[in-house]
Amino acid sequence: MKTKEFREMTTEELQNKLKDLRSEHFNLRFSHATGQLSNPMMLNNVKKDIARVLTLLRERELKAEQAKKDN
């Protein structure tokens, strides 16, 4: 997914997506270890998506803290 698509999601949706991505990453790692993974690049793509989601969640957290300080 693109970052733009993640930015359109709510925080709750991002947290759910993060759970799904971590589960998918686990399954891909397991498949890779057993030699059943057909496209190893999928591992890298999922890891990058996880990083994107975590970055967006942190940005929102920092923005909320800054708004709290400004008030």
**16, 62 Cβ separation under 8 angstroms:** no
Q: How far is CA 47 from the centre of its chain?
A: 8
Q: In this predicted model, what pLDDT tens digit does every residue of 15-71 receive, in sequence order?
A: 999 999 999 999 999 999 999 999 999 999 999 999 999 999 999 999 999 999 887
Which CATH code for domain 3-70?
A: 1.10.287.310
* Range 43-69 burial, b when 16+ CB lie within 10 A, else e: beebeebbebbeebeeeeeeeeeeeee
Q: Where are the domains positioned within the chain?
A: 3-70
Task: Tell me the pTM.
Answer: 0.91
Residue 57 sits at the vertex; the CA angle it makes with 55 and 60, to the nearest 5 degrees, is: 110
